[in-house]
């Protein structure tokens, strides 16, 4: 009986295993570094995108804040203007009321000085005249006993006495304002004078048609 055949198996070298293990480790390390750099790049891109969005939102917020501030400033300015206008109107109203009170006092004073005329008679209760540049400024107050009397309708006639070229001269001015009132009326204005004319006295006539219903003369005051 013959001996069984013996099979010889050559042992593998241990170095191949270690090379394989080293390759796996290098692959893992390289993959880790690659993944790290990829994640870092992706995170950087996301950070830049988020930063850009936040910057845009900040710019928009600043623009809205500036617009709101401008609107607030405009409203504040309007309130200041309205407050100034209100104070100006209040001051004007107070001044007008004071002038009205003075006029009423003057009217009562004049009524005591001058007895009332006949029914519907017109009287000149006050007249002032003074130089105003090249013209003549006047102010007048008219009254009448108007109980149950129709409205008076007439015109004002101005006669000025003075000098021209060193000689006395009396001039009837062309200014003829209408006068229509019931009981009380004020009139004021600037009268045009002939060139080179120096006025001394002013006579104011109240005409109804061609009839003189009232007349008053005053000295002309110099310009202030």
The per-residue DSSP string of the chain comes to -PPPP----PPPPTHHHHHHHHHHHHHHHHHHHHHHHHHHHHHHHHHHHHHHHHHHHHHHHHHHHHHHHHHHHHHHHHHHHHHHHHHHHHHHHHHHHHHHHHHHHHHHHHHHHS---STT-EEEEEEEEEEETTEEEEEEEEEE--TTPPPEEEEEEEEEEEEETTEEEEEE-S---EEEESSEEEEEEEEE--TTEEEEEEEEEEEETTEEEEEEEEEPBPP-
pLDDT 10s digit of each residue in the chain, 224 long?
445 554 444 455 555 667 676 777 777 666 666 656 565 566 566 656 666 666 677 777 778 777 878 878 777 777 777 777 878 888 888 888 888 777 766 665 555 555 545 556 889 989 999 999 999 999 999 988 766 778 899 999 999 999 999 899 999 999 999 999 988 899 999 999 999 999 999 999 999 999 999 999 999 999 87
| Ranges of each domain in the chain | 13-113, 116-219
Cut 0.75: pTM above it: no
The CATH number that domain 116-219 falls under is 2.60.40.10
In three-state secondary structure terms, 209 is: coil
- Residue 106, pLDDT score: 64
- Residue 119, pLDDT score: 55
């Amino acid at each position: 009986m013959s001996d069984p055949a013996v099979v010889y198996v050559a042992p593998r070298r241990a170095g191949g295993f270690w090379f394989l293990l080293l390759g796996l480790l290098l692959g893992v390390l390289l993959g880790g570094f690659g993944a790290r750099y990829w994640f870092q790049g992706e995170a950087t891109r996301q950070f830049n995108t988020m930063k850009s969005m936040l910057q845009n939102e900040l710019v928009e917020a600043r623009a809205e804040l500036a617009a709101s501030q401008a609107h607030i400033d405009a409203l504040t300015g309007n309130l200041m203007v309205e407050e100034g206008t209100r104070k100006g109107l209040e001051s004007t109203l107070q001044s007008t009321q004071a002038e009205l009170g003075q006029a009423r006092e003057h009217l009562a004073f004049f009524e005591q000085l001058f007895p009332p005329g006949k029914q519907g008679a017109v009287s000149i209760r006050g007249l002032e005249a003074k130089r105003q540049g090249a013209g003549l400024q006047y102010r007048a107050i008219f009254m009448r006993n108007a109980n149950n009397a129709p409205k008076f309708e007439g015109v004002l006639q101005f006669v000025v006495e003075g000098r021209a070229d060193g000689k006395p001269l009396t001039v009837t001015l062309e200014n003829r304002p209408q006068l229509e009132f019931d009981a009380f009326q004020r009139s004021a204005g600037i009268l045009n004078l002939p060139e080179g004319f120096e006025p001394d006295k002013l006579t104011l006539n109240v005409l109804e048609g061609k009839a003189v219903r009232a007349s008053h003369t005053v000295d002309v005051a110099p310009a202030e």
